[in-house]
Chain A
């Protein structure tokens, strides 16, 4: 049992010390946190895990009524419910990755103050937790597509749908990257936390979630697509519903932005995690 590996604790840390190997060593902990979060979400509730299914249907229903029926926003000729659901499930995946990781330090301060484990375990668990939620939603979405297709609706899934894993990964990493930056800054400035929940809502409205890109006035269309989430949503919808366009140039740009944000996020996170307990 003798382990002679020497660990060193020093004041300074290299700028980019990922410690991904260490996170891997703690993979059991990641999964236990995911399990804990699931258990915790649905303990002492009437409907239990059914909420995972009910939530997207409910919010999509509200979207359909408000944006589709009352505001009468065009859906590029797609069935309204499917159109809003596509945007909704992807956006809520992105935003929950962001929100979940943005409170990493603040909400775990007590735990982090008492025991060491790689802090990146928390955002990783958050990604997995949200991915599972998304996949459940996605299965329902997929079944609905099949239902609509067989009833002869104007739905045309195409090969772009195969990009889904990439889109999923990119949304998760972009959301988490933003979240890491926010979580690092909120250790010192609490008011940023308020700004985030507010900002995420605003961000949704500048992202083509409740409207198609084709509804954006042409001069602003390319600007709207510069928003790194926009091409993800648009591609997702194009792949599974066949609506709109496949903005591949913007999609590549979005991946690049994701990589930069994530890298920056991890650098800031690493810098903060060493001493945040002294300032939080």
Chain B
């Protein structure tokens, strides 16, 4: 395995986390024994829910799917993504609350994680006592807390109430106190899950400034998950977009936010092209794409060997002969992956609106999310050069595929799965 760089503080290699779908056991020993005994006699499981047959062993859900990431000292990384994209699972693994199914993580120094505001705060204890308790839970020693308690209390703006049980605190004070403790940790890496969302704007600003200062002046590394794009903008200098357990973007904050906000609309299984025809330059604007959709699909996820059934509707602006179509596929970084071509599949008159149904075999494409682009072109005769008639950004699609090398890196190299090597 490769060594960690001098500057690298977190190195995540091929990290996956699998959750089993359906109920895990039945919760009571009696039912599990009953099921086990029934199975042993070859009978039907009496506790199996009708219609739950698909939740058999092996049916699983990948909350994280082969994540690779290197984080350098002093970076402030934002992690964004839709609900269920795997953000919290990633943070939970980094915080050692749960362990990964595959892959490994190495980090240098201490990780202080704040997945919730005021974890371990005890209502009956006073603010001061809770600072000690919370500090210890987060990994500080008693002496460390003692040496910092004044600045913690000052930062929290709760001086007056510090010897009152926290059950009498307002929720805002509670948050302020809790955040102050975390902000004063001596950890090299700080992980936070949407904790600044609470508390008033002024305090939020103060916290973000504190985090930024910690990162720039003391070389702390910050990982911050949020749905609030403004705090991400304020705090982070690098941003990761997660989607269905995979990193779909890693880099500039603005670009990441654009991709995340855009992807909310990109999951549709149909696109209508109104008013944005000929966005890209074409040799001849003879054809206008109007509408595209996946037929017989509720989403844009294609499993196993399932073909993409594509329905394209366009309008001829001129007579068209020997129309060809190229469907270009690129990955989340917009790197080209492959292209599908159909030649001379249509000829038509001017003014006609036509709907074509195409079937594309994407079974060789590995798991992940992909962009497509449709390029319509034709040529006057076999010797003539191609002329593009219409170029349009197409529907995105996602691939889910339990291949035989699932969860291993052997075949997740690149985007195309080739046949196995034959020994001759």
List chain A positions with a Cβ less than 8 A from chain B.
1-11, 13, 26, 28-29, 31-33, 35-36, 39-40, 43-44, 111-117, 188-192, 274-275, 277-279
Q: A115-B113, A189-B29, A192-B29 are in contact. Are A8 and B95 (CB under 8 A)?
A: no
Choose among A26, A188, A191 the residue that contacts B136 (Cβ–Cβ < 8 A): A26
Mark the stretch among B20-28, B152-160, B239-247, B370-378 that contacts chain A: B20-28
**In the complex, are the beta carbons of B138 and A115 less than 8 A apart?**
yes
The docked-state distance in angstroms from the alpha carbon of A76 to that of B219 is 72
Chain B residues with Cβ under 8 A from A5's Cβ? 108-109
Choose among B100, B109, B120, B219 the residue that contacts A9 (Cβ–Cβ < 8 A): B100
Interface residue B105 (Cβ < 8 Å from any Cβ of A): yes
**In the complex, are the beta carbons of A8 and B109 less than 8 A apart?**
no
Chain A residues with Cβ under 8 A from B92's Cβ? 277
List chain B positions with a Cβ less than 8 A from chain A.
4, 19, 24-25, 27-30, 32, 92-111, 113, 115-116, 119-120, 122, 124-125, 129, 132-133, 136-142, 186, 188, 218-219
Chain A residues with Cβ under 8 A from B102's Cβ? 11
Residue of A nearest to B109 (CB): A3
Q: A3-B188, A39-B124, A274-B98 are in contact. Are A28 and B109 (CB under 8 A)?
A: no
**In the complex, are the beta carbons of B98 and A115 less than 8 A apart?**
no
If A5-B108, A116-B97, A189-B29 are given as contacts, then 10 extra A-B residue pairs at C-beta distance below 8 Å, sorted by A number, are: A1-B218, A4-B109, A5-B109, A9-B99, A26-B136, A28-B141, A29-B136, A33-B133, A115-B115, A191-B29
The docked-state distance in angstroms from the alpha carbon of A262 to that of B138 is 28
Chain B residues with Cβ under 8 A from A117's Cβ? 137, 139
Q: A275-B99, A278-B98 are in contact. Are A28 and B28 (CB under 8 A)?
A: no
The docked-state distance in angstroms from the alpha carbon of A28 to that of B115 is 22
**In the complex, are the beta carbons of B107 and A29 less than 8 A apart?**
no
A-B contact pairs, 28 of them (CB 8 A): A2-B109, A7-B106, A7-B111, A9-B106, A10-B100, A11-B103, A28-B136, A32-B136, A35-B129, A36-B129, A36-B133, A40-B124, A43-B124, A44-B124, A111-B120, A113-B97, A115-B97, A115-B115, A115-B138, A188-B25, A190-B27, A191-B29, A191-B30, A274-B98, A274-B99, A277-B92, A277-B97, A279-B24
**In the complex, are the beta carbons of B96 and A189 less than 8 A apart?**
no
Which are the 8 A-B pairs with shortest beta-carbon distances?
A29-B136, A116-B96, A3-B109, A9-B105, A189-B29, A114-B119, A28-B142, A274-B99
Residue of A nearest to B16 (CB): A11
The docked-state distance in angstroms from the alpha carbon of A171 to that of B19 is 39
The docked-state distance in angstroms from the alpha carbon of A4 to that of B189 is 12
State the Cβ distance, B236 to closest chain A Cβ, in Å: 22
State the Cβ distance, A247 to closest chain B Cβ, in Å: 35
State the Cβ distance, B190 to closest chain A Cβ, in Å: 13
Choose among B19, B104, B116 the residue that contacts A114 (Cβ–Cβ < 8 A): B116
The docked-state distance in angstroms from the alpha carbon of A190 to that of B96 is 24
The docked-state distance in angstroms from the alpha carbon of A29 to that of B142 is 8
**In the complex, are the beta carbons of A39 and B125 less than 8 A apart?**
yes
State the Cβ distance, A97 to closest chain B Cβ, in Å: 22
**In the complex, are the beta carbons of A6 and B4 less than 8 A apart?**
yes
**In the complex, are the beta carbons of B186 and A1 less than 8 A apart?**
yes
The docked-state distance in angstroms from the alpha carbon of A1 to that of B29 is 50
Chain A residues with Cβ under 8 A from B186's Cβ? 1
Chain A residues with Cβ under 8 A from B124's Cβ? 39-40, 43-44
The docked-state distance in angstroms from the alpha carbon of A14 to that of B239 is 35
**In the complex, are the beta carbons of A2 and B119 less than 8 A apart?**
no
**In the complex, are the beta carbons of B96 and A9 less than 8 A apart?**
yes
State the Cβ distance, B370 to closest chain A Cβ, in Å: 29
**In the complex, are the beta carbons of A115 and B125 less than 8 A apart?**
no
Q: A8-B106, A32-B136 are in contact. Are A275 and B98 (CB under 8 A)?
A: yes
Choose among A11, A44, A279 the residue that contacts B99 (Cβ–Cβ < 8 A): A11
Chain A residues with Cβ under 8 A from B28's Cβ? 189-191
Chain A residues with Cβ under 8 A from B98's Cβ? 274-275, 277-278
Chain B residues with Cβ under 8 A from A40's Cβ? 122, 124
Chain A residues with Cβ under 8 A from B136's Cβ? 26, 28-29, 32
The docked-state distance in angstroms from the alpha carbon of A119 to that of B24 is 23
Interface centre among A11, A32, A36, A277 (most CB of B within 10 A): A32
Q: A8-B104, A111-B120, A191-B30 are in contact. Are A278 and B138 (CB under 8 A)?
A: no
State the Cβ distance, B34 to closest chain A Cβ, in Å: 13
Chain A residues with Cβ under 8 A from B140's Cβ? 28
**In the complex, are the beta carbons of A11 and B100 less than 8 A apart?**
yes
The docked-state distance in angstroms from the alpha carbon of A10 to that of B140 is 25
**In the complex, are the beta carbons of A189 and B108 less than 8 A apart?**
no
State the Cβ distance, A41 to closest chain B Cβ, in Å: 10
The docked-state distance in angstroms from the alpha carbon of A6 to that of B5 is 12
Chain B residues with Cβ under 8 A from A192's Cβ? 29
Chain B residues with Cβ under 8 A from A31's Cβ? 142
Q: A114-B116, A189-B29, A278-B19 are in contact. Are A36 and B122 (CB under 8 A)?
A: yes
